[in-house]
Chain A
Amino acid sequence: MGMTPTREEVAGMRRRGLMLAMAGTALAGSVGPVRADDDAAARAARWQDLRQAIFGNRPVRDGSGLVQLDAPGRALDASLVPVAIRLTRTEGIKGVYLVIDNNPSPLAAHVTFGPEADPHALRLRVRVNDYTDMHAVAETADGTLYAVARYVKAAGGCSAPAGPDDEAALRDLGRMKLRLAGGFATDRPVEATLMIRHPNFNGMQMNQLTRLYTPARYIQTIDVAYDGGRVFHMDTDISLASDPVIGFGFLPTEKGVMQVVAKDSKDTVFRHSFPLPPPAT
């Protein structure tokens, strides 16, 4: 009757099972299970599916030379992967898309630039759920799309716990800070970093104390304007890391006020105005 593993086998299984359980996170993060999706053909097929879903039948051209996507080849923290989209030429650029191919919600951000923007560099921090290609796609005013890809090894960022305490994570919700690298100037592009306090709960994270899933609550749009003129509009999603940090450039010609409006999936609107240059403290 049926094969029953020997006592030794069972003991071995338990030992190994325990080691596997202990290795748990480390295994997922560093050694990494080998996935069929590591395979180049599978990755290309995935991109074809995503292209179709996001851009329909519009042709997507090779963006090498125009678009550069900077991301770590192997991320230290899958829930906080720094990404930069750089453009060698900004005239006639309407916006950029960041696609994290193997995330369940692959369109991490779609940014539309306004007249006040300097689109040379856009920096974000994202979650990565699996070893994946990322694509940065620039769209020109005439609607042409230019894509570049980069392979990133990181896994588990979508289910990584946000922190020990959901209530603490929701404290100061929507608080914002703005930092200028190199100070304020009216004769050159200014590089700014916007920080928004928001846990961006994606519904896949478990509270470490209650061990229940924290309900999804995440930022969906961010609008940044300078003296009423658009810098950028961003549609985003659960792929954005908690406490979003967005680096961007803008082109002030005089002193003014930067207005930021962010809206989350609970339809809560967060507004902040930053007089620039910042008043001396």
Chain B
Amino acid sequence: MPTRRIVLAAPLLLAAAPEHVPEPRGIWRGPVHGPVPATLSGAVVLDTPALRRLIATHHPVLIDVARAQVRPPHMAPDMPWLPLPHRDIPGSVWLPGAGKGDPPAGLVEAYRARLAALTGGDRDRWVVVYCHPRCWESWNAAKRAVLFGHRHVAWYPGGIEAWQAARLPTQIARPESLGGGAAPANPGVTASDPP
């Protein structure tokens, strides 16, 4: 009986895990969008109920690393470019580009300093990092927090889409620049990278 059960279960498991993605040893420098690992060494992985509990009990520092939308080059100047306001989890700090695999000079140091300031220098303060589903930049930015020595880092891979799917409130966000052209001064008008 147990054998048969295993035989039956095996194809289901295969079907349920079409893309096992191993954790890279450090920062991921490959394509930004695509399958991501289920784990992050040194951090915990949160789903929406776990994130809500953590917010309620520990008031973590919430870091949104989603990219700002970029006006396509050569758009006729009289064509309006008006992306919807960027929304994130209330209380978040929006640091676009903090999870770039190929960060411009100074970005990693600026991110380290910003995290230190946001946690008040307490490396045991919880830090939660997210962006969108199937996006490596939140994985990278959470990994960076671990590498900086933060001891309570959480990654929320469902991102703002999972939060909104649970009908939870959002806030309109303003991007904070980490330098290196990561965040436009005027969101949605110009930027150096694709969203």
Binding site for B on A (CB under 8 A): 1-5, 9-10, 12-14, 16-22, 24, 27-28, 31, 33-37, 46, 49-50, 53-54, 102, 104-107, 130, 202-204, 206, 210-213, 215-216, 218, 220, 235, 237-238, 265-266
CB B39 to nearest CB in A, in angstroms, measures 7
| A47 to B98 alpha-carbon distance, docked (Å) | 33
| B71-82 interface bits toward A, Cβ cutoff 8 Å, 1 = contact, 0 = none | 011111001111
**CB-contact partner of A54 in B80, B134, B194, under 8 A:** B80
Give bound CA distance, A19 to B162, whole Å. 12
- Whether A27 contacts B124 in the complex (CB less than 8 A), given A107-B80, A212-B31, comes out as no
Asked if residues A24 and B134 are in contact (CB atoms below 8 Å), the reply is yes
* Besides A5-B50, A31-B165, A34-B164, 7 other A-B contacts (C-beta < 8 A): A2-B58, A2-B124, A12-B47, A21-B35, A204-B195, A216-B72, A237-B75
Residues of B within 8 A of A35 (CB): 164
Asked whether, in the complex, the Cβ of A2 is within 8 Å of the Cβ of B126, the reply is yes
Bound CA span A131–B79, Å:
21
Whether B165 contacts A27 by the Cβ 8 Å rule is yes
**13 intermolecular pairs with C-beta atoms under 8 Å apart:** A2-B124, A3-B53, A5-B44, A20-B47, A24-B133, A28-B161, A36-B170, A46-B84, A107-B80, A216-B73, A238-B72, A265-B73, A265-B74
B80 touches A18 (CB 8 A): no
For the complex, give the distance between the alpha carbons of A107 and B17 in Å.
41
In the complex, whether B8 has a CB less than 8 A from a CB of chain A is no
A181 to B89, CA, bound (A): 52
How close is B155's CB to chain A, nearest CB, in angstroms?
Answer: 10
Assess the A218–B72 pair: CB atoms within 8 A.
Answer: yes
B184 interface residue (CB < 8 Å to A): no
Chain B residue with Cβ nearest A14: B38
State in angstroms the CA–CA spacing of A211 and B157 once bound together.
19
- Report B89-128 CB contacts with A as 1/0, cut-off 8 Å: 0000000000000000000000000000000000010100
CA distance in complex: A27, B162 (Å) = 9
Residue of A nearest to B58 (CB): A3
User: Given A2-B124, A14-B45, A130-B84, is A266 in contact with B38 using a C-beta cutoff of 8 Å?
Assistant: no
Q: Which residues in A have their C-beta under 8 angstroms from that of B180?
A: none
Which residues of B from 28 to 57 have beta carbons under 8 Å from A?
30-31, 33-36, 38-39, 44-47, 50, 53-54, 57
